[in-house]
Structure 1
Amino acid sequence: MPQPNAESERTRLLESTAPLERMAYFRSELQLQDEAMAVLAPYSEVFVTYAKDYADQLYAKFDRFAQTQLMLHRESSPGRLRRSWEYWFRALWTSGLDERFINMVWRSGVLHVSLGIDQRFIDLAYGYTRSYCRDMAEREVPLPELRKVLRTVDALLDFCMLLATDAFISSTQRCDTEVMMGVAHQLRNPLTVIGGNAMRIRRNRDSCADAHDHSQVILEEALRLERLVKAVGSYVNILNQKPEFQICSVPQLMLETLQELRPEYPSPDFEPELDLAENNALVRGDERCLRPLFLQTLRNSLQAMDKANPRLRIASRPSTATRGFLQIEIENSGPAPDPDMIEALFEPFHSIRPMGTGFGLPIARLAAKKCMGSVTLTATPHGGRYTILLALPGAAGESVFFAGE
């Protein structure tokens, strides 16, 4: 895969834009609307005069740490960082939190990830900034107005921290998923070649018995790794999805998933027991996440069943412990899972089956989280039970954050 050069990567960072809808929600929650910002207007001109002093003091603070010293002293243009901090400080009081300012702070958060700056130092910088701004306000603002100004200053810096943190989380996740997808992509073609050559050896009548046996092992492992590559791709796709919440029918999705899994049933006449509450059949979620959630939990239940006495029961009811949620239980006969090993089963690459990928239950848990729900596994006297919690319609009110996350 072609790798971007430093210049193209820098251009991409400078052109990245903040999720403005989500930022508008944060701003509203912090009560930073025009009325609140107007409290700072009478003092903005005097506040901006502190910009150079602020930048100098911040530089001096971080010049004390070995980790940040190295970055401060290797500037390509001497004084560039201080000039950037001055510009940010002036914009803090004069921008009115316009789109340009929001994108500037967002891009700085993305750049911090690109440069490998420890997020704890960014948080520390905002701590220093808050202390500096409060001291400045106490010197410049009349006492009767000071309380309102300090509250707005705190909210303003909280908003900037949220912006930078949101950028940090989004960029870190993007980097992680790019690595995972890159590894999966690089493995796919070699695995195809390995599997193809193993098949040729097996078909060659002139090959000795040992060669046939070894090629069979190679083929089986290649197929397992191909399934692993596919599972990693599914995991990353769900990880990257921004849920689009809608009303979904649990019975419909469950029946469609069972139909997909029918070739994996223990016998042609096997049928699961269904007890899905008709009066609570709807949940609020994203179908793209609910399908893999049901697929992985049902598949694991089928694989764990007692083949001599197969039993699979699927039931749903409103949760009594978690109000506003539907509780779905998938219970199977067979050996009960070891309680000490249950949590490990939800970790990537952990599998108790020789040919397993170790991604089935991690995919299920991630999909549940994307729908603001959960999935757990418990041992029962007769096997294992998955418990899925999903939000009922109306469990969460409409908001920009819930809809856009």
Structure 2
Amino acid sequence: MASSSGFIIFMPWLTIPAQMRVGRFRFSPIRLADVGAIIDPSMVSTVQNALRCYVQKNGHPIQSCTILLRVSDREPWNIPRSHWDYASEAAKTLAIACLSEQRFLEGHFSPHLNATMFHIIGQGVSVGSDQIAPFFARRGGGLQIGGMRFKDIVFQRPPQIEGTDCSLINAALIKSIGKARRLKLPVADAIDSSLELFLLGHSETPELDWDRCVMLSAMAFERLLTPTQSSAQAMAATFASHWSPFVSVKISDAKRVKPDAKYATEQADWPLHRKWIKELYEARSATAHRGVQIAFSRNWLAWQHLIVAAFAYPLTIKLMLSENNLYTLSDHELGACDALDDLLDSSWGKGWRKPPEWSEILSKSEAYRAIRAIIDRAIVKSPSGQRRKIKK
């Protein structure tokens, strides 16, 4: 017998391109007109009315969203409140699997993502009721608001959702993170303890300025990397150890990146990504602590730090999972890793007349890796020096 009431969890501001399983949940794109395909018929109109409370920038109700469904359950849409933490973890995992595929600085009309897109909403519903009872996680426990009718309340789409779109989901990354959790590996704890900080720093919420977002990004890297000491030097050394196969530009060869004047000799052989993470940590300290700040070179502005962090954080997760034999980076991902130093030394552009070099550098690096991999897989040298095709 179907329940006469329940609790739905959904992402009102995101419609993913296809169903995706994450742990014990399946994230499913759904049009309001098709709610009956997953909801008990007696509950359809109530759920539709609840979802129509969420409106777009023009004030019109959303026409589609992403709903969470429990895997292998008689009523998959009905998710107990006690499962909120599991649903939240799954949503964060989906978020990083999508954000890891984001492209940057490819023009005003290129697809854009941020963490706000992946916020989940929990809402109680009852058959035939015109009442809405949204649920919000709060300090000291959750809050469920009752006594309101559907027609009396509207939830406006956040402004940072404008122009966002999610067309790619890295299913392999989701599976790898899930396996690391099941095996209770340290890398899983590192990811879970850092992910929320990263997502908050990249939510693009107007309540946080760029300096605070940089601070949160640095904190996320610190949680992920777990350096032996809480210092910029230790963070830089740990980050560089994971990125050691991808050194393409050293400070001594850089066009734009300068070393700290006091340590110019010691830093001459540093790859640029080591200098960048050091400066990211120093920017975090400058925001978090008052008092006199030690003078170091600053090669990147706050907004530039955020783009690099959004690019490098997911790749670092992939590298760490790869070190645990849980993930295999694709040729394009390896090309992205190859490009990091060159991206850090690139021109960030000057308006529309001189666009950033980022997109061109990254595309060339990805293409070079892909072409090289095709050649390597297609042709090998035999002991006699003759080339032959590889048998698949």
Which interval holds the TM-score relative to the shorter structure?
under 0.3
The structure with the greater share of residues assigned to helix is: 1
Q: TM-score, normalised by structure 1?
A: 0.24
Return the TM-score normalized by structure 2: 0.24
| Structure with max Cα Rg | 1
